[in-house]
Chains A and B, each alone.
Chain A
Amino acid sequence: MAEVKVKLQLPDADPVEIENRIIELCHQFPHGITDQVIQNEMPHIEAQQRAVAINRLLSMGQLDLLRSNTGLLYRIKDSQNAGKMKGSDNQEKLVYQIIEDAGNKGIWSRDIRYKSNLPLTEINKILKNLESKKLIKAVKSVAASKKKVYMLYNLQPDRSVTGGAWYSDQDFESEFVEVLNQQCFKFLQTKVELSMEDIETILNTLIYDGKVEMTIIAAKEGTVGSVDGHMKLYRAVNPIIPPTGLVRAPCGLCPVFDDCHEGGEISPSNCIYMTEWLEF
């Protein structure tokens, strides 16, 4: 009788099959799976085969490798991103990770360098690459106009970076401020008392213009506009004195006041400002 050795070919010994199984497991556990879980699932696979499969998945960008307190975690990568990062190498992925972590405040290139320990030339190359792939964008900070911060392409930059409503394209919108200034003033002139919230900074400029005054009153919690039991009220006011006497004379506004004395080039007797003013 002839002995036939039949090798039991297990259905998922095929490397592709192993990978697919792992991916399915990752989908089942979107927060990540440890090596132990894979082992439990496919006990007949040798450790080496497992490692090969996992490495292939990682390099293809379909799995994320994370470290947790228990050990290593493998997580399914977002399919969209998985497609994007194909072709990028590990360094780029690292830089991208750092920028993603910075959220919508963005991160400066020097800080990226510190965090990744990569040399400057590398960083610049990577940043240029990522920008051309439309994964990140550079936003000019309003605080220091030469500084550029990088953030993910689809994020809205934070207020502190762009200056908020008053800036558009990093230029101070003075026209916009002026117009709002006038509008708020006209609005307040017709109303007797009103509480405002978001336009406090504009209202403060009206206060500094001397056209508006503010008082703080104690208000019940829950009334519109109250913060911590106070409410700010604004009303339009008149100046307390009319333009003072000194400015009604030409000397009050004269630009060459200090050079003027009797008998000199500029003197009260030959003052052209006075002559004009007298003819008025």
Chain B
Amino acid sequence: MTQAEIKLCSLLLQEHFGEIVEKIGVHLIRTGSQPIRVIVHDTRTSLDQVKKALCVLIQHNLVIYQVHRRGMVEYEAQCSRVLRMLRYPRYIYTAKTLYNDTGELIVEELLLNGKMTMSALVKKVADRLTETMEDGKTMDYAEVSCTFVRLADTHFVQRCPLVHATENSDPGPPPPAPTLVINEKDMFLVPKLSLIGKGKRRRSSEDDATGEPKAKRPKHTTDNKEPIPDDGIYWQANLDRFHQHFRDQAIVSAVANRMDQTSSEIVRTMLRMSEVTTPSSAPFTQPLSSNEIFRSLPVGYNISKQVLDQYLTLLADDPLEFVGKSGDSGGGMYIINLHKALGSLATASLESVVQERFGSRCARIFRLVLQKKHLEQKQVEDFAMIPAKEAKDMLYKMLSENFISLQEIPKTPDHAPSRTFYLYTVNILSAARMLLHRCYKSIANLIERRQFETKENKRLLEKSQRVEAIIASMQATGAEAAQLQEIEEMITAPERQQLETLKHNVNKLDASEIQVDETIFLLESYIESTMKRQ
């Protein structure tokens, strides 16, 4: 793990779970898998605290454990999974667009709690939805269950691995840690529960201060003492499926930008049809015949078969090469070239960065070297039509930032510089890795700045919170308008202005983190796809 990644993980863990979890988590990321005694010793925290921290991390799928030889249990942290925490808002938003508020809350609860049983989840979400509804209306469990089942059917949520039910024929002592297994078939199988009930509103007597931790609440609100029917069957969010969805979205919008709406709809249809047939890491989708595509087009699009064929031919001939033709049966078999598409998207990100950082002429040189693969200094000047001095300057600038590299081809065995060809080339994989590293550090910077801004105004924030609490309690006990006014004026106008600015800044920094994460997603997908093919 690079320093930048470790720093970012540390910031994320601290923000979401606190100091102790951060210490343990970062230690595990740095040192790899370790048994619990060593963790206790190295981090100088008590065994009790280490246990609790590990519990939290395991619950959130950030740490896995394994039983090694000699009966030792080792814990390993997964840095990449920690970095996914940046993407939580995007997952929740996707669920919202696909399955409305119900879906949004289901995914949100799952991500916040790591793992949950279906019944607990449905209950929680129903309660939350009821809060937002008008007085007298409640959310039915059945509706929430229905949405949950749909999420499971489309693979957005999956079952967590279960404890393997050991046969009694094994008489030895139980292993120090259970081995968790999950059957492929069962991964998305929803247990048959009959959840009957409606969401409950939080009663006003339980309306305490807002800082109550979530873990305490179920103890207050459980009314029924019945055993939960699906005990032991836990669900988690299936991040890979979300990533597949993001990837499809990116490809469709790229086609829409390059061609038109109809062609992007055709590509979207093809991708939807391939969702279940093609594994997410395949370089291209299974061949789809033109007839199948025609049948699966969304209802609103009534284009004729001929027009569809023309569009498919056009897509297949396009220089982008996202769609390829693999045969002629069934009216023409077409595939989507996923690896190529990811490569184009990653390259476009690189080009965009070069353009914004160095200028459009530099971007011209960059694209030129990308297309022609290897070029000499003179050839670059000729093709790009940029005067020699400027071209040299730009090439060296990009070289120093590692967007472009030099390839030496010696003419003589002694590699004399005067008798060697020096060719400029772009190595997309290494440039992508370099940019990815920069993205991680940028997000770390943004988070630090956000925390700094908040810390600067801590006093003011605390004051405003106190005032709000006072107002709320006074409203509950029925105070007059004049008294409320007086309390509100405790915060002066310039302070109010300051609070507004703070809110604006924090929002902007937050939004920027999510935007940089989009770049991270494209680059990581490309790197992963390339590594798998090697």
Which A residues are closer than 8 A to B by beta carbons?
166, 172, 174, 177, 201-202, 204-205, 207-210, 213-215, 237-249, 251-253, 257, 260, 262, 267-269, 271, 274, 278
Closest residue of chain A to B506 (Cβ to Cβ) is A278
Question: Whole-angstrom distance between the alpha carbons of A249 and B352 in the complex?
Answer: 13
A274 with B258: in contact, given A244-B518, A248-B515, A251-B441 (CB under 8 Å)?
no
A240 with B435: in contact, given A202-B385, A209-B367 (CB under 8 Å)?
no
Can you list 26 residue pairs at the A/B interface with Cβ under 8 Å? A172-B388, A174-B386, A174-B387, A205-B383, A209-B363, A209-B364, A209-B367, A210-B351, A213-B319, A214-B319, A238-B257, A239-B257, A240-B257, A240-B345, A241-B250, A245-B519, A246-B438, A248-B512, A249-B515, A252-B353, A252-B356, A252-B442, A257-B438, A268-B445, A268-B452, A278-B508
Question: Whole-angstrom distance between the alpha carbons of A278 and B453 in the complex?
Answer: 11
- Which of B349, B388, B522 counts the most A-chain CB atoms under 10 A from its CB? B349
A269 with B449: in contact, given A213-B319, A240-B258, A252-B357 (CB under 8 Å)?
yes
Return the contact of A268 from the options B317, B446, B515 (Cβ within 8 A). Answer: B446
Main secondary structure of the interface of B (DSSP, over half): helix
B-chain residues with CB within 8 Å of residue A210 when the two chains form the complex: 351, 363, 367
Question: Whole-angstrom distance between the alpha carbons of A267 and B302 in the complex?
Answer: 57
- Which of B367, B368, B385 counts the most A-chain CB atoms under 10 A from its CB? B385
CB B93 to nearest CB in A, in angstroms, measures: 15
A-chain residues with CB within 8 Å of residue B505 when the two chains form the complex: 278
CB B359 to nearest CB in A, in angstroms, measures: 11
Interchain CB contact under 8 A, A241 and B352:
yes
Interchain CB contact under 8 A, A245 and B515:
yes
Interchain CB contact under 8 A, A251 and B367:
no
Closest residue of chain A to B518 (Cβ to Cβ) is A245
Asked if B464 is an interface residue, CB under 8 A from chain A, the answer is: no
The interface on chain B, measured as residues whose beta carbon lies within 8 A of the other chain's beta carbons, has a size of: 54
Asked if B348 is an interface residue, CB under 8 A from chain A, the answer is: yes
Question: Whole-angstrom distance between the alpha carbons of A210 and B508 in the complex?
Answer: 30
Question: Whole-angstrom distance between the alpha carbons of A237 and B348 in the complex?
Answer: 14
Return the contact of B352 from the options A201, A244, A274 (Cβ within 8 A). Answer: A244
Interchain CB contact under 8 A, A208 and B257:
no
Asked if B5 is an interface residue, CB under 8 A from chain A, the answer is: no
Asked if B439 is an interface residue, CB under 8 A from chain A, the answer is: yes
Question: Whole-angstrom distance between the alpha carbons of A269 and B456 in the complex?
Answer: 10
Contact with A along B431-445 (1 / 0, CB 8 A): 000010011011011
The 6 closest A-B pairs by CB, nearest first: A245-B515, A251-B442, A247-B356, A268-B445, A240-B254, A269-B452
Interchain CB contact under 8 A, A243 and B352:
yes
CB B444 to nearest CB in A, in angstroms, measures: 8
Asked if B516 is an interface residue, CB under 8 A from chain A, the answer is: yes
Question: Whole-angstrom distance between the alpha carbons of A247 and B385 in the complex?
Answer: 27
Interchain CB contact under 8 A, A208 and B367:
yes
Question: Whole-angstrom distance between the alpha carbons of A242 and B320 in the complex?
Answer: 16
B-chain residues with CB within 8 Å of residue A278 when the two chains form the complex: 504-505, 508-509
Interchain CB contact under 8 A, A240 and B320:
yes
Question: Whole-angstrom distance between the alpha carbons of A202 and B257 in the complex?
Answer: 24
Interchain CB contact under 8 A, B348 and A240:
yes
CB B314 to nearest CB in A, in angstroms, measures: 11
Interchain CB contact under 8 A, A249 and B448:
no
Question: Whole-angstrom distance between the alpha carbons of A210 and B254 in the complex?
Answer: 14
Interchain CB contact under 8 A, B258 and A238:
yes
Interchain CB contact under 8 A, A246 and B353:
yes
Question: Whole-angstrom distance between the alpha carbons of A243 and B445 in the complex?
Answer: 20
CB B214 to nearest CB in A, in angstroms, measures: 31
Asked if B360 is an interface residue, CB under 8 A from chain A, the answer is: yes
Question: Whole-angstrom distance between the alpha carbons of A238 and B320 in the complex?
Answer: 12
Contact with A along B338-362 (1 / 0, CB 8 A): 0000001100110111011100100
Question: Whole-angstrom distance between the alpha carbons of A238 and B260 in the complex?
Answer: 11
Closest residue of chain B to A253 (Cβ to Cβ) is B357
Asked if B371 is an interface residue, CB under 8 A from chain A, the answer is: yes
A260 with B445: in contact, given A205-B384, A243-B352 (CB under 8 Å)?
yes
A-chain residues with CB within 8 Å of residue B108 when the two chains form the complex: none
Asked if B22 is an interface residue, CB under 8 A from chain A, the answer is: no
Interchain CB contact under 8 A, A208 and B383:
yes
A249 with B363: in contact, given A213-B319, A239-B257, A240-B320 (CB under 8 Å)?
no
Closest residue of chain B to A267 (Cβ to Cβ) is B448
Asked if B517 is an interface residue, CB under 8 A from chain A, the answer is: yes
What would 4 more interface pairs be, CB under 8 Å, given A244-B519, A251-B445, A268-B446?
Answer: A239-B348, A244-B518, A245-B519, A257-B441
